[in-house]
Structure 1
């Protein structure tokens, strides 16, 4: 009878009473029969109650089929795909796992275009997510026996025949008419089954029949085992009894050892002793070796345990056996002048012929006829190395012992993990790996292999060579985040598996309102808790309202207003509780070890001296203007570079020269200059003025643009913001006339601070920006060489504009032939709309490397124009060729993308700049 898997009631569940009988039925058949008799032929009130309770589950399953049919007939059954009703006259399909019913057209569209459909066409049921293979949908009845069933108003979708579907774990079929939903339970009796030994019969209900395992009686098997000495002795079983496993005492072949061996492992052989009474039968071979003497009595041999023969073995060196020389080509009689050897002890003569015996390698022995074994073969053979990339000439003996020679080539093939390389010397699988990698790249080029497809990676792992499988441990950190939990798999592609560690403790937030019940997988994070955080602040103030959070996340900072002393200790200010440092706007003023006062505003950390040394030099009357170098001594060995003013005797010639005083030279201060030709001309001019009574004959000397104390950018700023710039100029002039040594401007923007720095350079003042934004300001201080009143901004702007007008007139009046190099529209790149706070070094760090990558733009320079505008000029920008201009045009998109990505600037354009760095034209 065909074996059918055992099956329970309903969906694999069995009633408690029946389950107990079923678990005992295969072992003790005698206990089953009374229970069957009681349950089949006797009933009581209590039994009827149990029957009612045991029928609940089948009723529910039967009600599912009835409910589906009734809702389809009433047109109230909803298709989950189109959310429309399923009517009795339509075509529909039912899932074999959850029995959910869908329109045929809806489920066919879902299988092709659904969200769960994969590349192979497999899809999932919208209701239960059970996986289904790609299939061709056909309109069949519920039992799948009839194609295009007729319209049945009483039982929609049914063919009217009995279901007849084979039940799981049973030999019977479903007795219900064609229906949706689960099949009915089997209530029939199973077949009469014999026990395993076939001596007894028994019968159970079908659901309890042990189809697979059968059942076992209590009879003892008395069959003879293959040894024909012992009997089986097992309890009722099926199949053959097997080998005899009993231990018997046996003697070995040589008779020196006795041992207990299994009956089925003995191999009997007869051995003969010196007398008939000493004969025995050996059953196994022991590990003792004994010396066997041949019949000659002169020779013997040490052999392992073997059966003893009646007669001694014949000597292999006797004359009747050996009749030729060792090589076998010449008779011994021919070598001994017609006489043969008389005994086995006589020497065996050799001939003078080549041995010629075939060696193990297939070559012939090339030595002269000799005694004993032939020597190894030393014939040279051309052979490839193990990797096959090199060829060597090696002795045959070497090839027989070591197979193939080894070269020094290192294998660079990727291992299965595609992270490590083989690095094996002369790898025998390198060629195969190279061919495999070549086919892989070809497949990627032709889109037949996807590098992101996990299935392709798995197939590739199966096809890889054994020597190129990576056996290193991955040791990557798992996604749980615990540094001690590392991936213990061998090196692999793709992500590591999840951490399998778990905790038996509940995961509870600090407030106790959010709980993750145990077991808790390693790395599990608490979900967002929306209760109020109840932690106490270390300052003792009331907690700021915020949600509860993990312990490693700090609470919100305490923002309660309290009074705190500033860092310099001069003022008590109002600040938030979390602030550890409070700054006032006053100067620190602390006396430093160098006896200077700290000139920085209220600050954090130790005070740093920013003053000059101020000590008088040893060899002159000047003071040391270098930064304070306490506690080191002043360097008196150097030359004094302080500028001093010298005049000629007439006082007309003035010049600033370094003091030059040192240990070997005195200061030049107090000396006079020699009058030159200009002094004589000036003296003659004054005499003429006095003679003719003219107050002034000479014209005021003209100041060149190169000698102006201000940059073009400063003058442009003055022209745009004349009022503010004039106020700054007046402030500095008043400061220069006052007795104060330093002045501190109010906090201002970056462009305004830059203007103050540049005008301070014109007055030769020390200037420095202090404090972080937005309270950054400028501090200025007088020097010994500071100028009280340089050329004013207004006069400088007038001279600069006149120069521009003259230059424009000259360029219009003079029209020389323009060379090819001067014919350009743009010769620079301008950067505009810089992000507030961006500094020039940040722009240079990004722009200059990009410009240097271009071989045509040589030695690019970076200039500040005004506000947030910067110029990038190539070398010799007034002689730019069309090729360089095209290269600048190609660099604009790259610069714009890079500056925009790093949030440095928003606009990059081409521009045309004249020789004085004035922007003449700009690209729209």
Structure 2
């Protein structure tokens, strides 16, 4: 739509738009407008955006005639933003490059420095005649108005101007840029100097003559059809060009023909003329000397040239740069015979050589051959390698097609492979480009790859849901997902969730599925999921039926409809020694084997009694109850603890007040002790942290205190959990590998430190001390401890504290 409100065709709209842009780009302020704004103090400096007062020093650009404060334009000329090539500076208005920096305040015509302003005069003007050269091309009249800002007006004088060809003249305004052109033929002599120009009166040089003529070569054998005036300077009266063939004209001797290439002018004299031949064929002996020896004098060019009888010794075409082969025949006419030697022939690129018999080399060009080495240099594009065999090119041009996608994303570059970015796509469309709803329009011409215009209206496409649309019209094929908040059931139909965006389909509630599996024995343990619980295969959950021998679950994969397989039980069983100090968790099968050994030992111990006629009840040894009560064997430390306990009771000593109470060692498991022996330094640091945390919790006002350990491996986390259990401290692991860490929390009144630390216990065990005397222990006997006390010697209690 044009500014006046009328609707034109596309081509006219484009023309009006281009014309408007050109007018805006070529806009120059008029003198009257500048004078009015400067006088009324309404003109603003483009640099500082402040009013230019009538008394302020100014500077005017001679290209665009904009006016600036003198100080502002000085600062601008020195700033990096104004710098241009060739050490010049750019005008902030027209970007015209000037070499001289502004230094002084002058009037608009440049005659007066620091002009004084009078109320009746133009501001910043000297009040004298301008006198500057006008903008006209051929105008020589100076400007005759007073010193003024802006461009000088056109010259009012009229002069008589001739047309371009000079046949017509008429009066025109001086300095008018348009050239006068008549409707008559030019008539100027063309380049061939035979025909005249038939074009209408035109500017510039006339075109070359376009008539086709037949030209003959210098020797008169070959003809060609060319434009009239071609090779005009090469005409010698008989021909215009060289055909590059042997001339073949009969020489003056009328016996031989010219062997030169087609040439201008007459042929040279016969090279065998007696007046030109002064020596023998090998040029070693003058003919005058041969005449003295009795040879006859030559009378014509057909007479043979006498031979001197010496070896020819003329250089042959074979050989190399440092070795020259000579003709070995006697002095003779004509070409020299074949050479009997060999020549070193180098390939074209110079990387390889080979020996070739000179007899096979007929020409000088055959001294070079082509090797099989491929050139690995980069081509001009910088991406592909040359790849030619025996390459001798200085500039490796790439002849492949670029093929990269252009900036439009639709077409590919068809130029030869090149460096840098491809040129923009030159294709354009003259159809209107609209958005999807058609309300926003881009008018032609439209560059290839231009995206549809942005539309501010709501999307009018058909959507899957009926919720309100909140996104604007777009050019993408799919609309953005609907974010309207709704209520939806989870995938497992466990609960209905609220505030769920409409586009989300599969919602998980985070609960266990708990649906009955096809085996009708187990339930699905997966988190709320989509689809069937068992997509592939059958139920693999462990069977929970009790075993007939031990009562533990079967634990084999679900086997509905079949009996439990006979396998070894892998359930964990807790066993301990008789005194209760040693505690371990072993596999059920190992516990059964241990109990069988125990029963065999017990029966063997009674064998002697059975031989004497006594009976033995083996029922308790074969029941499941006894199997569950399988015991570990007490070790020397158990005996030490029991002996110390009895001594403490006999001496009436309170074991809780003893700082070296050995019983405190029972709070640490054997696996924890083993881990502490491997990394005692880490255990010491952890115990110190836990001890400090427990003391702070018990002494402080807060009910609990927490401490976070840095991320560590699984073995170290296990040590922390076991030590926290000894100190009655809560321990929890957070995060996932490899940043999984442990957080411990000590509760006031609940957490406490043991009598002896694990570190001190390990150090006492590793100290070089003799072990205390220990009485012999009879295993698995009802009177074990009574016999041990009777048989052991009396030992001082303080000698066996460790």
The equivalent position to 2:311 in structure 1, one of 345, 353, 356, is: 353
Unaligned runs of 5+ in 2: 1-22, 606-632, 656-661, 676-682, 698-707, 746-757, 763-802
Deviation by residue 1:371-409 (Cα, 9 ceiling, x = unmatched): 51476898999999979xx99999999998789999989
**1:703 counterpart residue number:** 666
**1:149 counterpart residue number:** 115
C-alpha separation between the residues in 2 aligned to 1:838 and 1:651?
Answer: 37
The equivalent position to 1:611 in structure 2, one of 511, 519, 541, is: 541
**1:531 counterpart residue number:** 457
Shift of 1:533: 3.5
Contact 1:335 1:351 (C-alpha < 8 Å) held by counterparts: no
Pick closer, same or farther for the CA change 1:548–1:165 going to 2, 3 Å: same
Pick closer, same or farther for the CA change 1:378–1:472 going to 2, 3 Å: farther
Pick closer, same or farther for the CA change 1:605–1:81 going to 2, 3 Å: same
**2:419 counterpart residue number:** 492
Pick closer, same or farther for the CA change 1:137–1:550 going to 2, 3 Å: farther
- How many pairs were matched up? 628
Contact 1:108 1:137 (C-alpha < 8 Å) held by counterparts: yes
Shift of 1:146: 3.4
**2:130 counterpart residue number:** 163
**2:492 counterpart residue number:** 568
**1:206 counterpart residue number:** 174
Shift of 1:476: 5.1
Q: TM-score, normalised by structure 1?
A: 0.49
**1:137 counterpart residue number:** 103
Shift of 1:355: 0.4
Q: How does 1:472-621 map to 2 (within 5 A)?
A: 477-480=405-408, 482=409, 484=411, 490-493=417-420, 498-525=424-451, 529-539=455-465, 541-552=466-477, 554-562=479-487, 564=489, 566-569=490-493, 576=500, 577-584=502-509, 585=511, 587-592=513-518, 596-607=522-533, 609=539, 611-612=541-542
Deviation by residue 1:109-140 (Cα, 9 ceiling, x = unmatched): 23333855568765555555666556233322
C-alpha separation between the residues in 1 aligned to 2:382 and 2:484?
Answer: 54
Which SS does the other structure have where 1:187 is aligned?
A: coil
**1:866 counterpart residue number:** 743
Which SS does the other structure have where 2:524 is aligned?
A: coil
Pick closer, same or farther for the CA change 1:161–1:308 going to 2, 3 Å: closer
Which SS does the other structure have where 1:108 is aligned?
A: helix
**2:280 counterpart residue number:** 324
Shift of 1:672: 3.1
Which SS does the other structure have where 2:159 is aligned?
A: coil
**1:20 counterpart residue number:** none
Shift of 1:179: 0.9
Contact 2:348 2:391 (C-alpha < 8 Å) held by counterparts: no
Contact 2:38 2:54 (C-alpha < 8 Å) held by counterparts: yes
C-alpha separation between the residues in 2 aligned to 1:233 and 1:506?
Answer: 47
Pick closer, same or farther for the CA change 1:100–1:538 going to 2, 3 Å: same
The equivalent position to 1:72 in structure 2, one of 38, 41, 61, is: 38
Contact 2:546 2:554 (C-alpha < 8 Å) held by counterparts: yes
Instruction: Flag the structure with larger Rg.
Output: 2
Pick closer, same or farther for the CA change 1:525–1:801 going to 2, 3 Å: same
**1:53 counterpart residue number:** none
Pick closer, same or farther for the CA change 1:116–1:507 going to 2, 3 Å: farther
Pick closer, same or farther for the CA change 1:553–1:150 going to 2, 3 Å: farther
Which SS does the other structure have where 1:672 is aligned?
A: helix
C-alpha separation between the residues in 1 aligned to 2:249 and 2:561?
Answer: 104
The equivalent position to 2:596 in structure 1, one of 671, 675, 680, is: 671
C-alpha separation between the residues in 2 aligned to 1:671 and 1:306?
Answer: 126
Unaligned runs of 5+ in 1: 1-56, 271-280, 430-465, 662-666, 723-750, 763-792, 803-833, 844-862, 869-912, 918-924
C-alpha separation between the residues in 1 aligned to 2:105 and 2:587?
Answer: 110
C-alpha separation between the residues in 1 aligned to 2:261 and 2:68?
Answer: 80
**1:367 counterpart residue number:** 327
Moved more, 178-187 or 283-292: 283-292
**2:157 counterpart residue number:** 188
Which SS does the other structure have where 2:59 is aligned?
A: strand
Which SS does the other structure have where 2:77 is aligned?
A: helix
Q: How does 1:898-909 map to 2 (within 5 A)?
A: none
Shift of 1:88: 2.9
RMSD: 7.1
C-alpha separation between the residues in 2 aligned to 1:545 and 1:237?
Answer: 65
C-alpha separation between the residues in 2 aligned to 1:400 and 1:633?
Answer: 97
Which SS does the other structure have where 1:840 is aligned?
A: coil
**1:108 counterpart residue number:** 74
Q: How does 1:672-687 map to 2 (within 5 A)?
A: 672-673=597-598, 675=601
